Structure 1
């Protein structure tokens, strides 16, 4: 295994990023040290950019572990053409400003590809700089805006919000028969994408939400928004926000006497959500996800066993899709003989892969998986297939 780790305070990070900007400025646009990494010797340098601190650190930790598992397995098997993968972890702190600085540092450090980020806002901030430096990035972000960039260096390792929310809306309206549905989402990149995708899906089914409340990503008290939702007496409440905030919203909703069925995307299927909301409050939550659990099939069982052996904890959706993304990059590196720049991006786009979260076949906008499934949080706090 070859691994380096970068984790700095904001002040040091900005200083290092400024140096990276100066170094990158010495090269012509679209060039960086990574372009020399396609030589037939030496380690293959890959960046992993994810929050390791801050409220979104759980997302970053899951993604890092999934990527690390795949890269360590490949290195243990001899690497790629005898070359080991050297990966460096950069802490973006869940902050788009930090991520923007890190994008330049990733380039100046000579990385030929990037895994991350797990946060849509950070991925959107990094994407133009990565494209300028011709560094492909495989992100766990789900905002539809990532595909709308039409950026040939951006790839998603799971479906976008539109797929999650179209599946969820159809299940709630046509399968469960709910017509009185309220919404609460945040105005961050992920939350805004969730809001717009779910609202459009409801409208396509002829349903208008009885309440539609927006909060900020760092908000902790939701009493005002939830009081309006309570007054609307919905049968179901859609949550469009990340894990911790979703949990806080649901906990406070139950305290205010809101009895609506909770429904959401991937964040509502995670242990962090269940722990934050409380098992009793989270039970019955309907979840749209492409990964229903570790016991789904032989492939997920193998991943879960390896994950458990390496980290001493159970694998989940975010780690699984990060593992898929890393496996796709490994295949592209093999296929391209460790190319970089546009050749590596083209190689990634050419990969078809049956992964843990579905069948990958990338379109021109970097979307590889287009379908999700419906699960439910049971009385023990576990995600199980919905009945």
Structure 2
């Protein structure tokens, strides 16, 4: 019911005004400033652009309904260039400009390099990264918009053993914070379930040729491959795997089944399987309506990063309205430990629990690429059902 209400609510924004605010609305005291620092160029541009567009869609909808506590949102975007140093500079600039909250980055490396700046300023930072270590450093101002690797990897390992029936796994990962964190999280889950890791292959961010890696995997005797690469590299690997005749299941996390990967890999993406944290193809009417609105506005199909950016803004809206005031330090306290349902805030799209350390718990999905589109096969429950402590 809540999802249907959301669809009706969201449809009313089809004719919403553009993001540019009237001059009067920009005056001091009438706006709340959010700063997005994301990967708009460089290796992370696919993810960062989807994230930014999701944010812009949310801002336009909230502003069309009167803003947050009567204030219009002023959104500013800074490009981190997928560079840790530029990310630190962008977050510092956001703090210097008195941002109410910081959104981004998306990639785990730039997040790790910049998160202490927002923490020292006691400013809430809502990020798109999945690396498990981000929320293990005692930072009370960091929050995710996605499931962490620690939450996702047990589900993937169980899928490989129980559904794929694999016993020998080849692991291929990108050598950055995201990839190394995923590799370090999945291997213990595989071995604890009796599966053998027969190849453990590190690749580079921005790598263009995966032929040698595909040959090594083909010769390893693996009966399934766990793929944990960024979007562009995932597509290149899928093409290389097809060219080398790899026929065993290729299984990954959300990125492997993403829309951009499907577009870049073409037919080579068909058959890729995996765990999906967020997807407009999931059997959630609110996700599907979001996808329709996103395509209408940006003339492109969103991936999970678009959903994450969108929901991040609504997390801020919900917590601020719950407090009844604008309080930068209090914003983090309002989010921590909260459970937000679509009935409470339609823009959150799906019941979401925010753990004390900033991790999330919510339903997720298993899917497969079939005939060039992502098909969701199974809905997986929250790790802790709603209403439990």
TM (norm. structure 2) is 0.85
Equivalents in 2 of 1:167, 1:151: separation in Å? Answer: 26
Equivalents in 2 of 1:174, 1:309: separation in Å? Answer: 40
Match of 2:45 in 1: 57
Deviates more, 1:337-346 or 1:107-116: 337-346
Of the three residues 271, 286, 290, the one matched with 2:277 is 290
Equivalents in 2 of 1:241, 1:3: separation in Å? Answer: 36
CA contact (8 A) 1:51 1:94 kept: yes
Correspondence 1:340 to 2:347: no
Match of 1:149 in 2: 137
Equivalents in 2 of 1:175, 1:224: separation in Å? Answer: 29
The one-character-per-residue Cα deviations of 1:85-135 (angstroms, maximum 9, x if unpaired) are: 101001011111110111111111111101111111111111100101111
Match of 1:207 in 2: 195
Of the three residues 89, 94, 98, the one matched with 2:86 is 98
Of the three residues 356, 359, 364, the one matched with 1:372 is 364
Of the three residues 280, 293, 298, the one matched with 1:311 is 298
CA contact (8 A) 1:167 1:373 kept: no
Shift of the alpha carbon at 1:2? 5.4
5 Å-filtered alignment, 1:1-387, equals: 41-279=29-267, 281-294=268-281, 296-354=283-341, 358-369=350-361, 371-378=363-370, 380-386=371-377
Shift of the alpha carbon at 1:375? 0.3
Equivalents in 2 of 1:141, 1:199: separation in Å? Answer: 20
Equivalents in 2 of 1:134, 1:145: separation in Å? Answer: 20
CA contact (8 A) 2:280 2:290 kept: no
Shift of the alpha carbon at 1:41? 2.5
Equivalents in 2 of 1:183, 1:93: separation in Å? Answer: 28
Equivalents in 2 of 1:170, 1:96: separation in Å? Answer: 34
Equivalents in 1 of 2:301, 2:264: separation in Å? Answer: 18
- Closer, same or farther: CA 3–210 of 1 in aligned 2, 3 Å: farther
CA contact (8 A) 1:292 1:375 kept: no
Aligned pair count reads 351
Shift of the alpha carbon at 1:218? 2.4
Shift of the alpha carbon at 1:57? 0.7
CA contact (8 A) 1:157 1:369 kept: no
Stretches of 4+ aligned residues off by more than 4 angstroms: 1-4, 355-358
Shift of the alpha carbon at 1:357? 7.0
Equivalents in 2 of 1:307, 1:233: separation in Å? Answer: 43
Q: Secondary structure at the match of 2:219?
A: helix
CA contact (8 A) 1:163 1:372 kept: no
Q: Unpaired segments of 5 or more residues in structure 2?
A: 1-17, 22-27, 343-347, 379-389
Shift of the alpha carbon at 1:232? 1.0
Shift of the alpha carbon at 1:302? 2.4
Shift of the alpha carbon at 1:295? 5.7
Equivalents in 1 of 2:206, 2:143: separation in Å? Answer: 27
Q: Unpaired segments of 5 or more residues in structure 1?
A: 5-39
